[in-house]
Amino acid sequence: MIDGKVSIRIDRSSTCDAPHQGRAMVRTFQTFLYLAAIVIPFTASAAHGHDWPFWRGPEQTGMVREKAVVTSWSQQGENILWQVPVGGRTTPIVMNGRVFLIAPVGEGLGLRERVICLDADTGKTLWEYSFNVFDTDVVENRVGWTSVTGDFETGNIYAHGTGGELFCFDRDGKLLWKRSLREEFGRISGYGGRLLNPVIEEDRVMVGFTASGWGDHAKPLMRYGIFDKRTGAVLLWAGPGGPPQDTTYSTTVTAVVDGWRTIIAGNADGVLYGMKARTGETLWSYRLSKLALNTTPVVDGTFVYATHGEENPQGTLMGTVACIDATKRGDITESGTLWRADGIEVGYASPAIANGRVYVVDNSANLFCLDAKGGKEHWRHNLGRVGKGSPVVTSDGIIYVGEQTGTFHILRDAGDKCESLDREEFKRPDEALVEIFGSPAVANGRVYFMTRYATYCLGRKDAQVLKEPIPPFAKERENPAEVATTLQVFPGEVSVVPGEKTQFSARFLDVGTRVVAGDKVEWSLAGVKGQIDSNGLYTAPSEAAFTAGQIVVKSGTLEAKARLRVCPKLPFREDFEGMAADSTPPGWMGVVRKTKIVTRDGSKVLQKLAEDASAPFMRVKAYMSPPVAGGYTMVADMLGTPKGERFRPDMGLINSRYELTLMGTNNVLRLESWTPVPRLRHDVAFEWSTDRWYRMRFEVKLDGDKAHLRGKVWPRDSAEPAQWTIEFVDPFANREGSPGLYAYSPGTTPKSKGPEVFFDNIEVRPNE
Amino acid sequence: MNEVTMASTVNSARWQARVVHFSLATVFLMVGAVSAEPLEKAKKGDWSMWGGSPDRNMVSGETGIPTVWDAKKKENIHWAAPLGSQSYGNPIIVNGKIFIGTNNGGGFRPNIKGDKGLMLCLEEKTGKMLWQATHDKLPSGRVNDWPEQGICSSPVVEGNRLYYVSNRCELVCADTEGLLDGKNDGPLENETYKESQDGDYIWILDMIEELGVFPHNLATSSPVLAGDTLFVHTSNGVDEGHLNLPAPRAPAFIAVDKKTGKVVWERNDPGEHTLHGQWSSPTYGVIGGRPQVIFAGGDGWCYSFEPKSGELIWKYNLNPKDAKYTLGGKGTKSYIIGTPVIQNDRIFLAVGQDPEHGEGPGHLHAIDGTKTGDVTESAKVWERGGAEFHRTLSTVAVADGLVYASDLSGFLYCLDEKTGKLHWKHDTMAAIWGSPYVVDGKVMLGDEDGKVVVLQHGKEMKVLATNELENSVYTTPVASNGTLYIANRNTLFAIRQKK
């Protein structure tokens, strides 16, 4: 707010309220309005006004600069503008008169995930995009726990799906691009369903995830993928943290802090990082917890408010609410602490900051109101049993918040106490719990939220919405450009096919991450075969072989690297004879430290190791390339060894996100997709022996919306049977996917190795 | 009787006297199937295992226990002993010592850093730490050994030996004196931590290595002892993907020779029907004149075995026939986390799920323990479930014809022991992980908000006090030798009426 005055203004158009992403072009008009400070009531219409394009609102703070319109409602109809039977866990977003949701849909074989666009005035579905969930440990009722993110500049919508796809849609639902974070970059979803929302920053879209990728990204780390928001091209990676302690859903936030364009990220290693937004370089780190961070921080000027609900680095009190000085540099755990309230366990719900107060919901659903300066507790209020949803606070101190076991609250911050204005308890005739995990979106006087079974829009027809201007995004430093301190190369990562050319480009940035002129650059290759010319044009080798490494660009002491791998086009065959003993196939996902090339039965084969008892090492999903179009067949030889009487391995192939596996614990051949649910599972009894080579053929044929799946397995030393061993039709085809190998070594212990698997003679080719 | 045999092996005269006293009381309780046992006759003195006796009934005959206390003002707080940052284990009080599981957040041994599972030994009089048994975390990580959750198993103590399950899925036999007595008792002598304040292990059964067990998230079972045999759940469960059971051939229930640590028998009845993990603890008793060891399974069934041979006596399905298990908590079928309680030839037990999977429909059963075979239909005395009783982690308390049971959703129910009829229910408005405890005319229950509610024991509901312990109480109160012990996550409070 300018000069500390609260100004209230009329809404004129949707563009004049654009949050910071498009802030520059509207700043003049806003300034005019601030000065005018006219207080004029405005008739609510979703087609105008303050939108809610990010799950924590336009300022990423959980605050809405409006006076509350809804202070009571009832499930019988009072102040319900519309409700639709779209249930799940997301927090809605609202942009340009539309509401966007991500949610599960269907049951059984039809169980999928979808992004839905509703008319904000009526709740009518304008478009819907459904997609399959695959290769994740996330279970059915945790599907759609992210929120989609809107970009004001382009009008595009970004969604992070449970199966690991990052989607970009235009406002009318046209898919502009997508990336498969799982198959291309080794995203590890975990079981908890905790995934990060995409975040828009200038011309980039960014999403964090724990990953074990190919090559030098094999080491498990929480990485932040930063993509061109228009094309989906990888611009750069940031990976500031240490070993991930868990999966997380601490969505990053963006801010200009003390003149520095910053992204602030709660990491899976328990540390909060401030990074330069354009380079990912770490500005500061703050160790909040021993375990992973799940909540989204809020920024107010140079103050960052962050919470967690696990062990603090010191002491035996769990959880904290911390106020951090983000102008400090380096490890600011000591120097940056302005205040901390240890012992408040805010592990799931993210804080809100409004009117000089910080609002947090602890894990047991107690809402705390703390003073933003000093952290003094003004009051606390019990909402119920389990706190997962985050509060939204209006400029006049009305709080909207859901509680997990099925209550929705409207409260008033009355200074030294909290007043309950409305408490709605959701009940169903079948007594099933109506859980509320998501948080409300509040825009144009309306309150949008989702329960397990429905989405609600609360509001009053013809209500007058009193709004305050959203303060402009803080300015970056304006001192003149300085000497180049960083060299960047684009694209930051790419997969190509043999013979393909890729143009790389380099740019220089100064310490403030502004683009500046630099000297001549030199290009070279590290590890990967092929050629690069003096202008950064790379040409992949023409032979059908895997090769992977880095494109290196240098200028004086500055250096930058891009990751590049070459994966053969279909059809290809890999018998490992061309690979060095003890190496791993270049550019394959998930093979480093889990596999190695060895000689067995007179030929080079790929061995799945069974020496490390930790869960990620007992299992391997070795993806050979990025997703390719469906309609291909895989053939491979495989052999498993036993461990004692109790354990045999599982081994199989992955084709188009379907897995065909010889199960070791019981004698079956299993076809499945999305294992923990499973959406699709079909077993056929099949006796198999350890220490014997088998050959497996797995074909996926696309037929309209359907996929015909067929597989067979036979001892390698006998003739291929004419009959298929297993067949199944999936009515909702996975239409693409990376070819891969699967192996699992149960019974690997810290003291003794587990059952091993060997693969050889892999062929991947288009169906005959 | 087994209890008497058990007592005769004990060395200490003081201890022996106490055990005989307590065992006779227990035997009396077990065979006395006729009428409800008055609270005054319940077990007193030391509290040597989870539930205080092999029947696991959460009832104490101690008297003079305070109703009101205040941790902040130190009102009625005899002492407060620091624990780690997370404690789920329950205090065991024997022969002047207290044993309790926790994590290494307290840093009692400055040289031992990082995440560990601890079994602490404290002095009963003062709460002073005497020694700690330290167990490193498993390298396989959270799927087998959840970070920072320490040791959840409560030991069973007999003479100078304690038996518990470590976070590493080991059944441990240790010396109650630790290495403080200057002697490293064998056969196991190569302890990792060997200073005077470290634990002294006698033998360790590594259930992962020896039995092929894949513990899901954490091995938590509290052993029970009958004669020379220990009984314990292995915690065998699913992998990190939660649907695949990596070790279906590994046992779920085992009987182990207390002297050698050798397996006497093993069973894997839940087998491939294991839904998630197996976090219950076994119960021992003489029912209908027949010794039985009762195991509650990760498949939602309760099993009774002949203690010597491991032969099945009966089994009972606690889930409705049409119940369906859905990963992630949405379904109607559940497993069992609470411990079976034996009273008057009946078993009281309810189903539940990992709290992470949220609330849902539960089922509390009273089962006639005198039948044989699949007794799902024939042994049902009463059941309370669906909307009337939710998923639970808790174990019941049975006293004076009343059953106290709590659920994760936060309700405490007072039910008629014979009919299951509801006398009253109290809403704590917070998640409940611990169990109700009956002592001195009161029933107590701790909750996640750090409150301990004290109600009057009886058919009429009357809240006597709500005491604040400031930090989540995931454990069950224990009364012993005139003192009430309650652990929140980071402190063990000894609560005693100020004189």
First to last CA, chain A: 67
Contact A751 B138 (CB under 8 A): no
Angstrom CA distances, B38 to A64, A235, A474, B21, B285, stand at 60, 74, 72, 17, 19
Closest CA to A166 of A84, A246, A224: A224
Under 8 Å between Cβ of A317 and A309: no
Q: Do B360 and A678 touch (CB under 8 A)?
A: no
* CB nearest to A191's CB, from B240, B247, B250: B240
Task: State the distance between the two ends of chain B, measured CA to CA, in whole angstroms.
Answer: 41
- Cα B438 to chain centroid distance, Å, stands at 15
Give the angle subtended at the CA of A403 by the CAs of A402 and A404, to the nearest 5°.
120
For residue A374 the two structure tokens come to 């000093």
Cis? peptide before A571, omega within 30° of 0: yes
pLDDT given for residue B326 in this prediction:
84
A752 touches chain B (CB under 8 A): yes
Establish whether the linkage from the previous residue to B187 is cis, with ω within 30° of 0.
yes
Decide if B242 and A137 are in contact by the 8 Å CB cutoff. yes
| Contact criterion met (CB < 8 Å) for A645 and B138 | no
Ranges of residues in chain A with a pLDDT under 50 are: 1-49
Average pLDDT of the segment spanning B51-55: 97
Bond prior to A19 in cis (omega within 30° of 0): no
Mean pLDDT of B429-457: 96
Helix residue spans in A610-710 (DSSP H)? 615-618
pLDDT of residue A411: 98
Distance from CA of B140 to the nearest CA of A (A): 3
Which residues have CB under 8 Å from A35's CB, separation 6+? none
Please list every residue in chain B whose beta carbon sits closer than 8 Å to the beta carbon of residue A676. Answer: 241-243, 327
Of B147, B209, B329, the CB nearest to A245: B147
Q: Which of A290, A405, A747 sits opposite B359 (nearest CB)?
A: A405
Question: By three-state DSSP, how is residue B8 classified?
Answer: helix
- Which residues of B fall within a CB distance of 8 Å from A614? 139-141
* CB proximity under 8 Å: A 374-433 to B: 382, 384-386, 404-405, 431, 433
Give the pLDDT band of residue B358 (cuts 50, 70, 90).
confident
Q: Which residues of B touch A192 (CB under 8 A)?
A: 356
Best to test chain A binding among B240, B384, B428 (most A CBs inside 10 Å): B240
pLDDT at B37: 60
Q: Rounded to a whole number, what is the distance in Å from the CA of B472 to chain A's nearest CA?
A: 9
Mean pLDDT taken over chain B: 91
Q: With a CB-CB cutoff of 8 Å, which residues 353-382 of chain B face chain A?
A: 356, 358-361
Set of chain A residues whose Cβ sits within 8 Å of the Cβ of B215: none
Which pLDDT does position A616 carry in this prediction? 86
The answer for B 299-328 residues in CB contact with A (under 8 A) is 326-328
- DSSP state, B215? B
A665 close contact with B: CB closer than 8 A: yes
- A566 near A548, Cβ under 8 Å? yes
Structure tokens at A730: 């999936």
Q: Are residues B295 and B231 in contact, defined by beta-carbon separation less than 8 angstroms?
A: yes
A551 token code pair: 């494109």
Percent of chain B with pLDDT over 70: 93
Per residue in A562-588, pLDDT tens?
999 999 999 999 999 999 999 999 999
B272/A431 touch (CB, cutoff 8 Å), yes or no: no
Q: Are B223 and B174 in contact, with CB atoms under 8 Å apart?
A: no
Beta bridge partners of B123: B97
pLDDT of residue B27: 40
SS3 A108: helix
CB-CB under 8 Å, B147 with A645: no
Q: Are strands A357-361 and A392-394 parallel, antiparallel or unpaired?
A: unpaired
The residue type found at B166 is S
Report yes or no: A661 and A742 within 8 Å, Cβ to Cβ.
yes
A615 to B143: CB separation less than 8 angstroms, yes or no: yes
- How far is A585 from A576, CA to CA, in rounded Å? 8
* Token pair listed for A679: 């959406």
Chain A CB contacts of B472 below 8 Å:
364
* Contact indicator for A443, A95 with CB cutoff of 8 Å: no
**Contact call for A141 and B429, based on CB within 8 A:** no
pLDDT in tens, B210-226: 999 999 999 999 999 99
Tell me the residues of chain A between 186 and 215 that have a Cβ less than 8 Å away from chain B. Answer: 190-193
ipTM of the complex: 0.84
Residue A503 neighbours by CB distance under 10 Å: 11
Q: Does B271 touch chain A (CB under 8 A)?
A: no
Q: Which residues contact B302 (CB under 8 A, 6 or more apart)?
A: B294, B295, B296, B315, B316, B318, B336, B340, B347, B349, B365, B367
Binary contact (A316, B85; C-beta < 8 A):
yes
Q: So what's the pLDDT on residue A665?
A: 82
